[in-house]
Structure 1
């Protein structure tokens, strides 16, 4: 799994320019420009368009290489209650609360859906 923090913003282009200036590489961008990926040496930063109440928020996410149903089964076996695996416009995702009650997102990306 790769660590993928998601940074929510009202200006994806400006945020992408900022993180590129820090040294992150450009990656895939959604066709409407609502999100962008910036690969890093040991993970990736995702920048997502967000409504005003979410601007500035950062969410912890992971990119999985195994079926999310397997990840969900492991979480359940460990006593955690993951949500359902959802079909998204980038692939599939599931969410689960960590022991502090904070949501964590796990994604299985389908690169054929990207630009």
Structure 2
């Protein structure tokens, strides 16, 4: 079984531009453009057009969202986070929290176009070999 997280978005094209910037590629799209499935080297993500839904206010930082039943979206970056941060900035997407040291390596937090906070991790290769 393969997990398929679904993110509800208000602007499909703007969201696609953001998630492509993170390194995901479009895999398939509905005929009505109501949903798109994206894939990366090790996973998938679906975007679904939101209808009458609003994001939670305020969004929790991924590291603070540790309550039971809560889910956060995180990605593992295959390269240096500095390169990703620069790519996001050039595309007009600012990071919400800069690069920080973690027990597993390093991370940064970025908001998608609808304000969903996403943690992007860079693993310490010594821990993951």
Aligned to 1:108: 122
Q: Whole-Å Cα distance in 2 between the matches of residues 55 and 78 of structure 1?
A: 35
TM-score under structure 1 normalisation? 0.52
Q: 1:53 to 1:62 in 2, by over 3 A?
A: closer
Alignment length, in residue pairs?
71
CA RMSD of aligned residues (A): 3.1
Q: 1:65 to 1:52 in 2, by over 3 A?
A: closer
Q: Which has the higher contact order (CA 8 A, sep 6+)?
A: 1
Aligned to 2:113: 99
The answer to whether the Cα contact below 8 Å between 1:98 and 1:104 also exists between their aligned partners in 2 is yes
Q: 1:79 to 1:51 in 2, by over 3 A?
A: closer
Give the unaligned 5+ runs of structure 2: 6-41, 44-62
**Distance apart, 1:110 and its partner CA:** 1.0
Post-superposition CA distance 1:37-57 (Å, at most 9, x none)? xxxxx44xxxxxx98972111
Give the unaligned 5+ runs of structure 1: 6-41, 44-49
Q: Whole-Å Cα distance in 2 between the matches of residues 71 and 52 of structure 1?
A: 23
The answer to whether the Cα contact below 8 Å between 1:89 and 1:113 also exists between their aligned partners in 2 is no
TM-score under structure 2 normalisation? 0.47
